[in-house]
Amino acid sequence: MIPTLVVPEAERKNISPRRSIPGSAQPMTAAAAKRLLAKAKLTGGIGGKSYVKVFRAGMATAEPARAELMERALAFLADPTVDALAAADIETLAAAEVVLRRTAHGVPFVGLVGVLRSIDDAVATLHRSTFHALTAASGGWTTAVWLAEHDASQFRDRPAIDQWLALRHAIAGAPAETYGRAVGVAADFRAQAPLRRRAPLAYVFPDEPWADEDLVAAESEVQSQRAGYTYLLAAAREAPTILQVIRKEPRLLAEHGLDVAHVVPAADMIALCTELLPLLLKKPPHGPLLKTPPRAVAAILTYIRTPEAAAALAPYAAHPVLAPLVLGFFRDAPELAPKDAAGKGAAAVARVVAKKTQPGAVSIGEAPPVLRDRPWRPAKGKKTTAPKPIVDLPILGLELERVDLPPHIPQNGSQRGRRIRPMTPEEHAAWREEADAAVQKSSYLCADFGLIRLGGTPPTFEYAQVPDHDCIWAWNTGTASLRGTALELVARHGLAVVPGFTQKDWLRWLGTYEDGDEYLRAAQCLISPRMAPRMARIAARRKQYRRVALQWLGAHAEVAAYGLVPDAVAPSGEAKDDAEEALRFLALSGHRPQVRAAAARYGDPTSAAVEALLDRDPLAIDVAAPKPPPFLRLAELPPVALVSGGHLDDDARAALVEMLQISPADPPYPGIALVRQACTAESLGDFGLELLEQWVLGDAPGRHDWMLAAIVHLPSIASERRISALAREWARKNQEKAKRACGTLAALGEDAPLMHLAHIAETTRFDALRTLATELVRGAADARGLTQDELGDRTVPDLGLDADGTVTLSYGPRQFRVSLDETLRPRVSERLPSGALGPPSTTPPRPTKTDDAEAAKAARERFDALRADLEAIADRQRQRLERAMGDARSWNAADFEARLARHPLLGHLAKRLVWVATTSASADNTFRVAEDGSLADVEDRTFSLPEHARVRLAHPAIDALDAWATLFADYTILQPFEQLGRTVFRRTAAETGTEKLERTGGIRVAARRALGILESRGFRREDAGYVVAFIRTLRTTEGTEVVARLPLEPGFEIQDLRSEGEQTTGATSLATREGSAVAWGALTPLAFSELVRAVEALRAS
């Protein structure tokens, strides 16, 4: 046994009991045993028949002796009292045990026998039960089942260790005399028994050497039989035997590691875990990596509080699966943290171990009343008189209904490439007959298209469009599905399909099926009072979509109010609760006049009821906080300073945590504003950041994402940086965590978080995450009245750089200047006594004895923060400008000056590129931004940018740049990306008139490389799951959007990307969004060149 094993209290219940492990045995009480015995009564059934009927039907087939034994067992189980248990013979009890394994899995019968009769009889019952088994004819388990002889050489039933565990507890906790007698009984049974019958006895007697003996004996069995004895690892004692079995099947360490760790020496246990963890973390060729087994093994290492265990865990401190466990270990045992580790994991360990100095005895101040009184809790003993419900109010305000469609309606992937035509009269008649039957039976029906089989091998299909009136009818029954998208349905039929959206239960699909999200996007286009109750329900009961629903309600407050009032004044129920919450949200969001006006149209009683609702104390919301997570450590949360002096006491800090638990991110509970007024912003920011860190250490569970939302309520620069880094990391590895983090970035709403959100929208490989992040960015841009590109310009942080894009660091006597190179990496130069700058270095020098130690420390911390920020954003900013060049995006002169040329950060990039100024009155003029910030032409003459000019990046496909290439070479100006030396691809005369670009075909490339290269160059998958083509949106010379499609053969499955083979590209086609072919001559020379360059990157790879 490992003397340093520290098992958390919550895990102790999972330790299998042994007499050698003090406190592990928890024998069942007699009262508990009697309650469970009552549950052994044979009730219920299978396949529509009672168990008794099924067993009696099998008696005719059973051997007479076993039929008679089954009769006795059924008679006992008809009324299993304590007296009946005492009177029954062992064989009857054994048969009852076999029956109960099938019919009452929660009844540990042999354990009950041990408590209510004796342990000796329980051991005998367990042993005799191995002689019997239930069997049935083929397919007859629901008709006739009987008791048969159990063949000891075969495994007909899985070991019932859950039922036997209660007996093991009783044996491990028995007095010495009772235990000795039971060992003798079991030893006699084992003496002549085959392995199959003696192994259960070894399991319930773990302090005897029997489990080790049986595991050794099992090695001579065939593999299929040998696996049936591995449960004995929970009772084995000898390390060599245990290690031999587990090494053959590493998953067994995950299943039995907690028991094994109590008997195997620490050194052997650490070596075993270290050896097997990499195997358990290896992704299988097919299917996802199972995370539970490696986490279970790592958890065992965390229980071993030794330097050797710490060294085994440390390499996994940044592992996406194991990091929470590992960091939690070092948080609990900081003294074991490695001192000389390096890398990302070491930084994570250092962050956890570094505890802020807590004041020994902070002064306590007067907590704000909202924390003292906790008004959000349900009122005790208070009786409030609710207004009389008003029923059957018709929804008013329907004259305000409208449809608000997005600019582009995406086509459903299942339709792409198939012909769509109207139904013939015969097809319509057949469809209508099927539809009538489907509506009556609530069976499957598609409202928009019929699927017509054309034949062939494999068969081909086409869509026949249902006539509009029948499509609307079918959809509005609330039972129909769609072959197209819900957005297409709304675009075609508008408000006529609102009844279907209010009747169909599509809300249950949100977050589960893609259809649910599609229905929500379509429902958002229906600006109708009839949709408001649905949006209120989503806001109240679909946490992941609350933000979207609240945005809809707030954007259409007047319309929403008309739809919410009838439910808000109706009798109690979920709809009333949802509507009340939505109306209070509207009132608190500045829309109280619209709510009152809507209520007034429903009459005085309704108006009064709504007025009473709005007048309720916004702090008194009658909400009980959920149970805090087990990983929350209140004692480790930093102190919160009061503006008036002093700090919150422990009770007030606990109240603050409870308030954060019950508050959504948007809108926040009103009491949070009161706390922010009473407490200092810095201390609240530290408090929120620590909650975030504890949430991450707890593996960032969605059910406790209030800890994530805490940094929205209690913001700080440090927490913005932390969640931005986490969001970008999760966007590569964990879609669900990344979704939650992206929602937080949007809720923070500051420039830096929005910049990282835009980066995720453009780079993540997860389609659902890309869609969410894009919608969040679009929402943020709309809120500011900007395009997404303009938002990107305005959310580039200056990182504290001076106006000239540099930073001065001071060591006291010595000064250093930090500038940025062409990739936005920092370079440090010492300011020499002469005033000149020394040679650049990638890091500041180490302080010397003559330097000011405090100033040097502050300077190095400033540099480290700057470097970390640059690492997070530099690549995105370079890629953003390169994409702007490929898209020929332009800026007005004022924005160019402010957002690019004179921006402290982006100015470094602007000075290394060539720009084009365009005006209606003159030809295009190229220029650059000189080192001093002035503008110059190719002759190095001063260039004056016209006030009304548009500025874009020059591109060699459409601009003459040879002279600029010479100038940049002479000045040794390095560019942040290929511009002057960019390869240009031009159309041939033959390609100009064709619709297929053959030059892109025949490129052979690995599936993973194709995905990475194309998606990083503006292409996206045509289908999210099975990829047979990539598409990219381009513009023609007339400004029309067209779609280029690059096919791949044989295609690949995203889920099995690692095992997918080589792909071959086909000819790229060009078409309108409606599917009409377009000749390649319609593209601009720049668009053509950039597309071919992106595809040619596959060939270069």
Domain map (residue ranges) of the chain: 17-204, 242-337, 398-614, 634-794, 807-970, 989-1100
Asked if residue 689 lies in contact with residue 719, where contact means CB atoms within 8 angstroms, the answer is: yes
The residues with which 1077 forms a beta bridge, in sequence order, are 1071
Q: Does residue 152 carry a pLDDT above 60?
A: no
Tokens 């469970």, residue?
Answer: 36
Average pLDDT rounded to a whole number, residues 851-869: 91
SS3 571: coil
Question: Highest-confidence range of 439-448, 505-514, 1062-1071, by mean pLDDT?
Answer: 1062-1071
Tokens 């399991």, residue?
Answer: 203
User: What's the rounded Cα separation, in Å, for the pair 472 and 158?
Assistant: 55
pLDDT tens per residue, range 189-215: 999 899 989 999 999 999 999 999 999
pLDDT tens per residue, range 717-737: 999 999 999 999 899 888 899
pLDDT tens per residue, range 303-324: 998 999 998 998 888 888 888 8
Per-residue pLDDT band for 654 (boundaries 50, 70, 90) equals very high
Q: Does residue 967 carry a pLDDT above 60?
A: yes
Closest to 757 in 3D by CA, of 744, 742, 767: 742
The pTM is what? Answer: 0.71
Question: Sign of the C-alpha dihedral, residues 749, 751, 753, 755?
Answer: positive
> CA torsion, points 541, 547, 548, 552, in degrees to nearest 10?
100
Q: Where does 989-1100 sit in CATH, by number?
A: 3.30.310
User: What's the rounded Cα separation, in Å, for the pair 829 and 839?
Assistant: 6
Angle formed at CA 192 by CA 189 and CA 195, multiple of 5 degrees: 90
User: What's the rounded Cα separation, in Å, for the pair 375 and 624?
Assistant: 10
Per-residue pLDDT band for 805 (boundaries 50, 70, 90) equals very high
Q: Give CA separation, 848 vs 391, 418, 844, 854, in Å.
A: 82, 74, 12, 12
pLDDT tens per residue, range 973-1031: 999 999 999 999 999 999 999 989 999 999 999 998 998 899 888 898 887 778 889 99
Cis peptide before 1050 (omega within 30 of 0): yes
User: What's the rounded Cα separation, in Å, for the pair 837 and 815?
Assistant: 10
> What pLDDT score was predicted for residue 413?
41
User: What's the rounded Cα separation, in Å, for the pair 124 and 111?
Assistant: 12
Q: Does residue 491 carry a pLDDT above 60?
A: yes
Please report, as a single letter, which amino acid is at residue 708. L
User: What's the rounded Cα separation, in Å, for the pair 357 and 1011?
Assistant: 48
User: What's the rounded Cα separation, in Å, for the pair 113 and 1026?
Assistant: 57
Average pLDDT rounded to a whole number, residues 469-475: 94
Asked if residue 480 lies in contact with residue 474, where contact means CB atoms within 8 angstroms, the answer is: yes
Q: Does residue 746 carry a pLDDT above 60?
A: yes
Q: Give CA separation, 982 vs 186, 595, 975, 978, in Å.
A: 83, 59, 11, 5
Percent of the chain with pLDDT over 70: 94
Q: Give CA separation, 640 vs 366, 452, 649, in Å.
A: 12, 68, 9
> What pLDDT score was predicted for residue 155?
46
Angle formed at CA 78 by CA 73 and CA 83, multiple of 5 degrees: 80
User: What's the rounded Cα separation, in Å, for the pair 697 and 777?
Assistant: 28
Please state, as a whole number, how many other Cβ atoms lie within 10 Å of the Cβ of residue 758.
Answer: 24
Average pLDDT rounded to a whole number, residues 20-43: 92
Task: Extract the tokens encoding 734.
Answer: 């964990």
> What pLDDT score was predicted for residue 457?
64
Q: Does residue 361 carry a pLDDT above 70?
A: no
Closest to 1029 in 3D by CA, of 1008, 1012, 1017, 1044: 1044
> What pLDDT score was predicted for residue 101?
87
Per-residue pLDDT band for 357 (boundaries 50, 70, 90) equals very low
Strands 420-422 vs 460-465: parallel, antiparallel or unpaired: parallel
Beta-carbon contacts of 981 under 8 Å, excluding residues fewer than 6 positions away, are 965, 975
SS3 1035: strand
Per-residue pLDDT band for 415 (boundaries 50, 70, 90) equals very low
Strands 996-997 vs 890-892: parallel, antiparallel or unpaired: unpaired
Asked if residue 732 lies in contact with residue 765, where contact means CB atoms within 8 angstroms, the answer is: yes
User: What's the rounded Cα separation, in Å, for the pair 189 and 195?
Assistant: 11
Task: Extract the tokens encoding 48.
Answer: 């529509």
Residue 442: burial class (beta carbons within 10 Å; 0-12, 13-18, 19+): exposed
> What pLDDT score was predicted for residue 417?
45
Tokens 């306590």, residue?
Answer: 364
